[in-house]
Structure 1
Amino acid sequence: MEERPVEFGGALRRLREESGLSQSALSARIHYSKGYLSKVETGKATGNREFAKACDDALTAGGVLAALVRERAERQETGDVVTAITGLPPTTPHFTGRSAELARIAAFVASEVGETACVLSGMAGAGKTALGLRASWDARESFPDGCLFLDLRGHALGTAMATAHDALDPLLRLLGVPGEQIPPHVDARANLYRSRLRGKRVLLFFDNVRSAAQVAPLLPAEPRCRVIITSRNRLNALDDAVHLPVDVLPEREAVVLFRAVGGDRARAAADDVVGRVVERCGRLPLAIRIAAARFRGSPLWTVEDFEQRLADETSRLDVLDDGERSVAAAFSLSCQALTDEQLRLFGLLALHPGRDVEIRTTAALADAGLAHTRNLVDHLGDAHLVAHDTPDHLAVHDLVREFARDRVLPGITADEQAAAVLRMLDHNLLLAESSDEFLAPHRFRPPFTPNDLPEVSEKFTDRESALTWIDVEWPNLVGLCHLAAARGLHRLCWQLAYILRDFFFLAKLWDPWIDTHLVAASSARAVGDSKALAMTLDNLGMAHVDRGDLEVAVGYFEEALELFRELEDEHGITDALSNLAWAALYLDDHQTALRGLREVMESYRGRGRTRSAAIALRGVALVETELGRYSEAVAHAEQARGEFEGLALHLDVVMSVNCAGWAHFQAGDHGAAVGCYGEAVELGERCGSRYEVARALTGLGNVREAAGRHGEAVELWAKADGVHGGLNPVMIGEARVRFGLSGFV
């Protein structure tokens, strides 16, 4: 008996080596773990017909291995008594990927020491059962006393959850205990169950477990037994178990799954279209399988048509329902154990426009303190309805958020929803304003009067925290601008857009800058706020100037100027005239630019607006450089720098240093230019302006190229492109010179 698995394993090893395959290469072809393959080859596991056929096919062995398995079966039928039960359900033929998870489970089941239970937890539809079954089938030959499967119905629709008492009855019967000998009490059943497993090596698979208490009495004391558990909850109380989270599929594996289930038309479809389909499904295996099955059963659909149906968020969950399986139904079951307060927060999260939500914003939605909100979120996380990206941010899967919006949020009154949105907007506007105060401390900001600030809303106390926050949160703030407009909260919409301007200028995020200000302009018009509209249009023009769309920018500036004059707003008039003068500079109307910048500089000084005056002075220096008045340009750039240093405006300082470097370069004083540009690199890195660093590096490259050191120039230009690609030659003289010197390198 002992030699029979060795006989099969030896033949397998010989055939593999003759084919020139390593164990890793063969395991990848047959989709069994390398560890299991090694055990078969050494006789520690026996191999079965399915395994033998897979090896025969991979090694083109002509059925040699399958024949050995048949011979072994015949010997067993005539002389050996087989008592072990393998009650595992069949695996899906379309199982895809999960190699890392399979390897980890294989290592767990192969061990005869340490933890005896492994919990596979993840959101509904993540493929936990399929993963556990595949791993169990791979390992079944290592459990000579049997492999048992039991669905505990922890999240089953219309069926009562199985208790430990319920589960122990069939388990004991499978272990050979006659029905009349099964004790009535759960503790007695558990004692008998553990006794029956003593000295045996059995693999137990408990599927669909809701709680640790449900499964704890089913855990064997025998150290050679192994238990695989699947659950939508984390089962934190099973602290002696191996915990393996099961996430959505990577994109490549998600595409493979859709093609496999979707049939020939899916396999023939273009990669980019199938990629969009699986992204619409959130790369969730259940959603992909339903989508692929529906596509396969609808021959009139093209993949492009199907992708467009999934693109509609209002009906996506309906598409992901094939009559027997439903993503929405699966999520509904995950909500069963939530308290009313937890379910309320889950619904309110759907009001947030982004996938990632900061914990303080979550607390604002809940109208709760931070500690209590963390506790609520932890319970949602335990049910895999949210995930933690970082300790202070949670993520909501796209399909889960759509489910919360469509099926949970309607259970919350309209008044309560409106109050939650207002708290969320007030909270984020306060933090955005606080961040902007560190970014541009001397900037004019319209007064912000919050409606009812949540308990968690506190301003930043240091620059680093403020800028780190806005660097992460700006996509959500863009979404909140649109949300405010859609909810008719127009004042909050345009104020938030206005506050974001300086960050967008620093980061050179022109598209969201323009996007937020377009919706803000619509909001200002909706409430007839001419002052807000004029300021927004002026900022829109600045965005277009910074991007190099000069004619568009001039149109916005002129419209803003007209509104400011109607309002007799001298402050606004001067700003609009200043912006028009800057546009004239970039349009090569240098005399108009010089005259306009000098006039607004004097106006700013007369009004005590030191920063604005220094900005105009820097503009004068740029115009003077274009006019060849280099010594004046250098003097004015250095004067502007000094004024900015006095105001502790670090970004404006580095812009002035680059301005001086540009004037020195144009004057032919390359040594002085190198000094300025080198200092600008250091200052720009310190204040976080990649744009100004790239400008300075480009200037240094220009100096090297002018000196005939082409290789060094190319390295510096490449470094500049790596820091911030695409400096606009219309706006940046250094970029214009680079293209002229290098032939567009």
Structure 2
Amino acid sequence: MVIDRPSSPMNLPKKPRFVNRLAEVDEVADRQACAVANGEPLLVLLTGPQGIGKTVLAVILGYRFARDYPDGVLYCEAKGSDTRAACSADELARQLLVQLGIPWTEVPAAPGDRLQTLRTMMSGKRLLFIFDDVAVASQIEPLLGDVSRCAVIVTSRSRLQSLEINHQFVSVRLPGFDQAAALELVGAIAGKAVRDVPESVLARVCSICEGLPLALAVTAGKLGAGDETPEDIVEQLTRNVLEALDVDGDFVVKVLFDEVYRELPADDRRAYRLLALSGPHFGAAAAAATLNVAEPAAKRLLTRFVRSNLLQEAGKGRYRYHFLVHEHASGKLRDGSSDDEEMTAIDRTDRWYAHRAVALDKCFTGRPVPQGTKEFRATIEPAFPGDDKPALAATGFDTEWSSFLESARRCADRRDHALSMVMATAPCSYAYQAGRCTELIDLYRRILDLVTAEPVRWQVYRDLAQLHERIGEYEAVERFASLAEEIHPPGRESAIAWRALSYESRGLLPQADEALCEAAEAVPLMDDPVHQERARALVRMHRGRIAVKRGLLDEALPLLGEALSFFNASLADGSNAARCEALIGDVGRAHDDSLEAERRWTKAAEIFVAHHVWPDAVKTYEKLAALADELSRPSDAARYRDRAREIESGRAG
């Protein structure tokens, strides 16, 4: 067939507004420059979730590279997001032939002839193709004839591995915008109006939209229109974000998400809904519990969801929904699941997290079994074996912390007092050591409305005293400790001890020591001899610390030495062993024994880090730095301070 066709068709959409993506543009531009210089094809797959800006970037790249492809720039919408309207390869071939100049009525009717004609017209040419919204590789693979001098840019929500493996496409995954890029986009769209928007409002907008350009653009349009105050816009986003992201009544983000959801197979739609219960981020084991499937099956599904950009990877073996996708999945859970299905999945999920929290707690702490949780905890084995299990448990708590809290709050919302007690008490020791008490305090206060048995209420009062002591709220410590003392004799020692620690923190050292002696007298009221010995060791440690503060160094050392001997024999009491080491180091420093002080403090700091007791680790490294300064060892002082800063910045690995 002889074709009389125009040269250099240029069929790109209107050039869109474009900010950010400099790294991705530079990456593709470098590859394109090398491809042109070496006479090779440029084959690029842009992937990312819906609304991330794949089409915008593809069109921008098309305009940027057009001059290097003098035989034409061709753009096709593959419509892969809607299986009912998705274009087949032969339909896309028809579109390309028309763009290349063949009249619509003269395009070969037979798919094979159509593809052959296209390949003939492509042969030896320098063309740039953009295939937007491709769902499966088979939509475009038959079109990839002689592209040896061409550029082919494909956008897809899915990672089309066939293109990577069989056709050597380079995959470029688009992340969400960081805050600087988000603010740039909002400013570009909202214009001068953004100058009057408080920084706190802009920060909240960026946080809610979580870097999704489409959501940011919609919100920026509202800010620029000025029909509502910025504060009202944020309130609407907070109340119902997907309905607040509308343009003239069209819920553009929700509609886009709905299209993706509608095209999922039924089993995947169920999984998409239920995984909204699994936590802010979660592992395969939690997902398996939520979905009621075996863990290998859960892993396969999660991998498939990541490849389809329904889920994001959140660290090794961890997954999360983008915030807006999570809101959409939660809405579908409310709308698309039966009450029985939802409640059963919630119960499975919460019980898994409760089981996991107890398994970690059994590695982390040596405290008595919390009241009201004995039956649930009875058959649960520690999460880890070996001497390093406290450190592994601390890492486990760190990893699951936000999911534990979400599950615990849900248990309280459901008024499941038994599971609420498990979910509060299991991470209590970790929360105290790691300085993460405030959120747990809120949970305990809610549980007070659910429990009536005196031993269980004693546990809540006692733990609230402990948590408030950690954050320096001493009136609350003494109030809850006093309530605990009154109702459960076997727990009297612990309640008195926390009252003593409050006295100590307020500088009432003689009263604190007197209260600790009173606590020691209450130890025999405890039911378990093993826990009696631990309680005595704790009292000795506390009295030793108070003696150090009072300058009674000769009295302090034997108390601390006896306590240290007990804690060294207990894997779950490493953090208390570290406290004893640090205090003995303080005694050494008071005796001008710098070597002993440095040795003890160094050991204490290492144990604090291993057990994720970050506040105490920072303090100990700062003491080591000050000691190194006094000893005229600036390099050591700098090293200790750097370590303290690393820990404060959350890089304490």
What is the TM-score normalised by the length of structure 2? 0.88
User: Contact (CA 8 Å) 1:657, 1:676: kept in 2 or not?
Assistant: yes
TM superposition shift of 1:657: 1.8
Q: Which moved more, 1:402-411 or 1:252-261?
A: 402-411
Distance 2:592 2:32 in 1: 74
Q: 1:528 aligns with which of 431, 452, 464?
A: 452
Check conservation: 1:290, 1:322, Cα contact below 8 A: no
Q: RMSD of the alignment, in Å?
A: 3.0
Relative distance call for 1:490 and 1:306 in structure 2 (3 A) is same
Which secondary structure state, in structure 2, belongs to the residue aligned with residue 160 of structure 1? coil
Query: Partners in 1 of 2:89 and 2:98 — Cα distance?
Result: 15
What does residue range 609-628 of structure 1 map to in structure 2 within 5 Å? 609-628=532-551
The answer to whether 1:434 aligns with 2:359 is yes
Post-superposition Cα deviations, 1:343-367, rounded to whole Å, max 9, x if no partner, equal: 111111222442x222211111111
**1:138-537 map, 5 Å:** 138-156=64-82, 160-179=85-104, 181-239=106-164, 240=167, 241-297=169-225, 299-312=226-239, 314-324=240-250, 326-354=252-280, 356-441=281-366, 443-446=368-371, 447=373, 449=375, 459-461=383-385, 463=389, 464-511=391-438, 515-537=439-461
Tell me what 1:87 maps to.
11
Aligned letter for 1:642?
A: S
* Cα drift, residue 647 of structure 1: 2.6
Q: Classify 1:120/1:588 alpha carbon distance in 2 versus 1 (closer, same or farther; 3 Å).
A: closer
Q: State the SS of the aligned residue for 2:237.
A: helix
Structure-2 change in CA distance of 1:558 and 1:713 (3 Å): farther
Q: Assess, with a 3 A threshold, how the Cα gap between structure 1 residues 583 and 120 changes in structure 2: closer, same or farther.
A: same
Counterparts in 2 of 1:720 and 1:615: CA distance versus 1, 3 Å: farther
What secondary structure is seen at the aligned counterpart in 1 of 2:576? helix
Structure 1 SS opposite 2:554: helix
Deviation (angstroms), 1:396: 0.6
SS in 2 for 1:86: coil
Count residues with an aligned counterpart: 629
Pair 1:681–1:278, CA change in 2 (3 A): closer
User: Which aligned pairs between 1:22-171 and structure 2 lie closer than 5 A?
Assistant: 83-92=7-16, 94-110=17-33, 111-112=35-36, 116-156=42-82, 160-171=85-96
CA deviations over 1:493-540 (Å, ceiling 9, x no partner): 2221111111112212232xxx32332332243242432222122111
1:91/1:133 contact within 8 Å kept: yes
The one-letter code of the counterpart of 2:394 is L
TM-aligned CA deviation for residue 207 of structure 1: 1.3
Q: Report the alpha carbon displacement of residue 213 of structure 1 after superposing the two structures with TM.
A: 1.3
The CA distance in 2 between the partners of 1:332 and 1:407, in whole Å, is 9
Q: Deviations over 1:388-422 (max 9, x none)?
A: 22341112111111111123442111111111111
Residue from 559, 563, 572 that aligns with 1:640: 563
* Higher Rg of the two aligned structures: 1
Quote the Cα distance in structure 2 between the aligned partners of 1:516 and 1:692.
20
Q: Which amino acid aligns with 1:142?
A: D
Alignment gaps of 5+ in structure 2: none
State the one-letter code of the partner of 1:309.
Q
Closer/same/farther in 2, CA of residues 458 and 697 from structure 1, 3 Å limit: closer
Provide the rounded CA distance (Å) in 2 between the counterparts of 1:627 and 1:174.
Answer: 89
Q: 1:576 maps to what in 2? A: 495
Does 1:538 pair with 2:466?
A: no
| Alignment partner, residue 22 of structure 1 | none
Q: Deviations over 1:686-719 (max 9, x none)?
A: 55544443444454566678x6969799869856
**Structure 1: distance between partners of 2:609 and 2:474:** 29
Q: Which has the higher contact order (CA 8 A, sep 6+)?
A: 2
Matching residue within 560, 576, 580 for 1:652: 576
Seq. identity, %: 22
Query: Residue 551 of structure 1: CA displacement?
Result: 2.0
**Secondary structure in structure 2 of the residue aligned to 1:138:** helix
Offset, 1:721: 5.3
Matching residue of 2:514: 595
Per-residue deviation, residues 596-644 of structure 1 (Å, max 9, x unmatched): 3234335436852211110101122223334443212111111111122
Cα deviation per residue 1:251-297 (whole Å; 9 max; x = unaligned)?
A: 21211111221232124534443232233222211112222223333
Matches of 2:276 and 2:337, distance apart in 1: 11
CA distance in 2, matches of 1:713, 1:242: 47
| Aligned-residue offset at 1:184 | 2.6
Query: 1:658·1:676 contact (CA, 8 Å) conserved in 2?
Result: yes
Distance 1:366 1:188 in 2: 48
Q: What TM-score results when the alignment is normalised by the length of structure 1?
A: 0.78
1:221 maps to amino acid:
D
Q: Deviation digits for residues 474-508 of structure 1, max 9, x if unmatched? A: 12212222121112222212221111111112212
Separation in 2 of the partners of 1:106 and 1:716? 42
CA contact (8 A) 1:521 1:537 kept: no
Given residue 123 of structure 1, which amino acid in structure 2 is its aligned partner? Answer: P
**What residue identity is the alignment partner of 1:256?**
E
Residues 675, 107 of structure 1: alpha-carbon distance in 2 compared, 3 angstrom cutoff: closer
Change (3 A) 1:548 1:325: closer
For the residue of structure 2 that corresponds to 1:594, the secondary structure is: helix
- The residue type equivalent to 1:507 in the other structure is A
Q: For each residue in 1:539-596, what CA deviation from the matched residue of structure 2 results, as whole angstroms up to 9, or x when unmatched?
A: 11112222222222111111222232xxxxx321221122222323333433433333
Deviations 1:431-487 (A, max 9, x none): 111111111145434545559x99xx9943451543322121112212222121112
Distance 1:679 1:711 in 2: 20
Amino acid at match of 2:483: E
Specify the alignment match of 1:41 in structure 2.
none
Q: 1:558 aligns with which of 445, 457, 482?
A: 482
Q: Conserved in 1, the CA contact under 8 Å of 2:284 and 2:299? A: yes
Structure 1 unaligned blocks of 5 or more: 1-80, 565-569, 727-745
Measure how far apart 1:341 and its partner are: 1.2
Q: Secondary structure at the match of 1:426?
A: helix
SS where residue 125 of structure 2 aligns? Answer: coil
Distance 2:608 2:176 in 1: 40
The CA deviation at 1:383 is 2.6
Name the CA distance, whole Å, in 2 between partners of 1:665 and 1:109: 65
Determine the C-alpha separation between the residues in 2 that align with 1:179 and 1:698. Answer: 77
Alignment partners' CA distance in 2, 1:442 and 1:684: 18
Q: Which residue of 1 aligns with 2:554?
A: 631
Residue 9 (structure 1) aligns with: none
| Deviation sequence 1:635-670 (CA, Å, 0-9, x none) | 111111112223343222121122223344446666
